[in-house]
């Protein structure tokens, strides 16, 4: 059957585009190489639905504002999957970011989100999940949201399927040949090579984005990118008071320490993330010993019940797609870029980067860009 739109990739962005476009009446097919949606980057994030308080430091005001609007929407529409939690920012005598700077950031964040922040009384510091209090000057508390990224992606994909999207799992895109009116796509599934035809291709393959473009004719222009690996670790324990937003003593980066539940419902602690340049194939990304050690050290620096290497239950790594630049990964924009060949009738639209939180905005922007070409 000829489709209007073929989406390569069943991560959060592919799922959101499929949902939005099938709702608009287009015939949509999604090719996902793994056995279900949301198993790549969209299962390896920090699982936060947030405006990104720290993006205020790099003046990404629009991104923060839009993400906070999305947080509001997702809290309302996915109450079982997106939950508001208290976040704590402790400020010590040795902290790089001063109380004044954090107060300023939180004031802007509160204005954008209509949610107030406060400081925790000194007499209540002892209730903060074994947080060390030596040298502690202030603890700020504000609210942000947490989700299960993989389940959220599967939910959005399920909605897309309910709206008519045809999801093909275990279906690996091989190549496409685009003509004036259609693209002929080849994909691999169940030991066979199959064909399908669609008017437009959405390349939502996350860290594989340029790899997919290499296999489309005529040759497609690309954005020069870097893949930045981010690791999280899971350790045993229970955080009763919510999240902790900490400054890594090693390099002053922000690291989150978050409550988490195992698949069997056991309380655990999720710690992340790191940022290091990754130059191998996306499917090869794994946590390194250095990254695990870095996160363990951050935790042990702030909490008085130390975690040993043997206690780390699990670790996972994902890849951010960031535009290549000399700037540090930490400071680079987290905005989504939708790229296409600058022709009158582009056939291929590629999604670079972005945030889990902003998936609906990405889908809306995609819809605006492709509708005139349909």
Ligand X SMILES: Cc1cc2nc3c(=O)[nH]c(=O)nc-3n(C[C@H](O)[C@H](O)[C@H](O)COP(=O)(O)OP(=O)(O)OC[C@H]3O[C@@H](n4cnc5c(N)ncnc54)[C@H](O)[C@@H]3O)c2cc1C
Q: Which residues bind ligand X (CB under 6 A)?
A: 8-14, 31-34, 39-42, 44-48, 172-173, 204-208, 212, 230, 273, 318-320, 351, 354-357
Nearer to ligand X, 51 or 120 (CB): 51
CB 152 within 8 A of CB 20: no
Instruction: For residue 340, give every residue at least 6 positions away whose Cβ sits within 8 Å of its Cβ, in sequence order, or none.
Output: 346, 348, 349, 350, 369
Sign of the Cα pseudo-torsion (205, 232, 49, 325, in order):
negative
Nearer to ligand X, 98 or 193 (CB): 193
- In this chain, which residue has its C-beta nearest to ligand X? 11
CB of residue 52 vs ligand X: minimum separation in angstroms?
8
Nearer to ligand X, 49 or 120 (CB): 49
CB of residue 135 vs ligand X: minimum separation in angstroms?
28
CB of residue 194 vs ligand X: minimum separation in angstroms?
12
Nearer to ligand X, 131 or 317 (CB): 317
CB 43 within 8 A of CB 150: yes
Q: 3-class SS at 318?
A: strand
Question: 3-state DSSP: the chain helix, strand, coil percent, rounded to 5?
Answer: 30, 35, 35
Phi/psi of residue 14, nearest 5 degrees: -65, -45
Pairwise CA distance, residues 349 & 21, whole Å = 14
CB of residue 215 vs ligand X: minimum separation in angstroms?
8
260: β partners: 268
Nearer to ligand X, 3 or 92 (CB): 3
CB of residue 46 vs ligand X: minimum separation in angstroms?
3
């Amino acid at each position: 059957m000829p489709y209007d739109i073929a989406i390569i990739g069943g991560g959060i962005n592919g799922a959101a585009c499929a949902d939005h476009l099938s709702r608009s009446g287009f015939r949509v097919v999604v090719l996902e190489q793994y056995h279900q949606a949301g198993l790549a980057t969209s299962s390896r994030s920090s699982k936060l639905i947030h405006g990104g308080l720290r993006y205020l430091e790099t003046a990404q005001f629009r991104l923060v504002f839009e993400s906070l609007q999305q947080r509001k929407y997702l809290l309302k529409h996915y109450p079982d999957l997106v939950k508001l939690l208290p976040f704590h920012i402790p400020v010590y005598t040795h902290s790089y970011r001063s109380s004044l700077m954090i107060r300023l950031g939180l004031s802007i964040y509160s204005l954008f989100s209509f949610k107030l922040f406060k400081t925790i009384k000194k007499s209540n510091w002892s209730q903060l999940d074994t947080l060390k209090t030596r040298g502690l000057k202030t603890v700020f508390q504000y609210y942000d949201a947490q989700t299960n990224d993989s389940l959220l992606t599967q939910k959005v994909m399920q909605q897309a399927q309910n709206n008519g999207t045809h999801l093909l799992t275990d279906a690996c895109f091989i190549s496409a040949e685009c003509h004036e009116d259609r693209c002929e796509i080849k994909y691999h599934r169940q030991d066979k090579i199959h064909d399908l035809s669609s008017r437009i291709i959405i390349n939502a393959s996350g860290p594989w984005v340029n790899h997919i473009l290499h296999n489309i004719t005529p040759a497609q222009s690309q954005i020069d990118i870097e893949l930045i690996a981010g690791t999280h670790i899971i350790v045993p324990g229970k955080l009763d008071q919510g999240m902790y937003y900490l400054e890594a003593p090693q390099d002053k980066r922000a690291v989150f320490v978050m409550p988490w539940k195992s698949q069997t419902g056991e309380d655990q602690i999720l710690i992340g993330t790191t940022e290091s340049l990754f130059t191998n194939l996306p499917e090869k990304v794994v946590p390194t010993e250095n990254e695990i050690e870095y996160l363990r050290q951050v935790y042990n620096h702030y909490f008085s019940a130390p975690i040993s290497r043997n206690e780390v239950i699990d670790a996972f790594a994902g890849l951010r797609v960031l535009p290549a630049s000399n700037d540090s990964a930490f400071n680079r924009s987290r905005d989504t870029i939708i790229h296409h060949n600058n022709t009158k009738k582009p056939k291929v639209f590629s999604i670079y980067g972005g945030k889990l939180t902003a998936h609906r905005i990405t889908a809306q922007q995609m819809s605006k860009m492709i509708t005139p070409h349909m």
